[in-house]
Structure 1
Amino acid sequence: MARARSLWRAAEDRLYPTLISDPSSYQRGIAAIQAVVAELRRRCTDTQQLIAAEAAPDELLAAACPGGTVIPADLLVAVACGMADREMSAEKERRRRAEAIETARAAGRPWVVLAGPERPTALNDGRLVELHIPSGTLLEATVDPWSGEDWYRIDVILDAADGQHNVQSRSFAEREDWLAEYRCCRADVEAGRVGPSAELS
């Protein structure tokens, strides 16, 4: 699957610059991609089925683009498979998060980890995402050794359950300061205060 995804990304890298450079074929090209993606949605439920569909492109394209297409068949199918695969992955992740939230809610737990380790102390690279279920507030702790002097970051995303993007952020150079602020943020969210601390901006 990793090899297939790599090839699909490479196909996108080849195709999109050519579409952008030729405005006359851009809309037709995008329409063809969307048609193939729609057909893949009807036929496939996982990545293995996408790979199988890619191996038999004639039948797929006959159903999706009966009038033909300006895009080479192998390129078109590869790009559509990549898009469909990302859609499937996003939907799988959405279901996983929903199930985790429901499990935590049923157990009476106010917090649920949506990504990363259970505690920020276990984080050396990447991120931890926790949701406070009663308020819908997301608390994200990030460690990025490539970000410069301030490796450590905290984001508090208010009203995340309502689709809002009210984000309060702060970066830290010292791990101890970052962990201390994370604990403060968590306590403030639990206490119903709007933001993690007056110092966050």
Structure 2
Amino acid sequence: MEIITTPLEGCLIIKPAVFPDARGYFFESFNEERFNEQTGLKVHFVQDNQSASGYGVLRGLHYQQGEHAQAKLVRVISGEVLDVAVDLRAGSATYGQHYSVLLSAANKLQFFVPRGFAHGFVVLSETAEFFYKCDNYYNKASEGGLHYADPALNIDWQVPADQLLVSEKDQVLPNLDKL
């Protein structure tokens, strides 16, 4: 496993060691001991989630706050997505900045999004299955979000605006300056 740092402190790209052979391939998608040792973190995941979506579906930008904040380790099982994290940590030198990474079944990359970040993704392929681990349980009363098209964030979602499929709930999320 290779750990790749990003410009946002704490956000990491995880590149697994993949072992192909005539039958296909094998890779270890997660090993808590190795992950914690190589990242220097002490993360214990307690919940796995999975979604299936079609082209242009945008989910996000979501976060959990307070004692229910969540770190996530995300990956794509089939298809391709643009995955985005936005730094919401008060006092952070990169507050309000975002980082995006292309995750796909083909590249097998994973993206670690620490607590204190909003997270979202858009499907770039015909369909995609998205899988993620959380280090804290979901709590509806602690959920928050940012509007995906906030001009202050200036995120290039790589899908024409008229082709995005966004939930009603996500369409009315506030901009960063309203948090």
TM-score (norm 1): 0.26
Relative contact order higher in (CA < 8 Å, ≥ 6 apart): 2
Larger radius of gyration: 1
- Give the TM-score normalised by the residue count of structure 2: 0.29
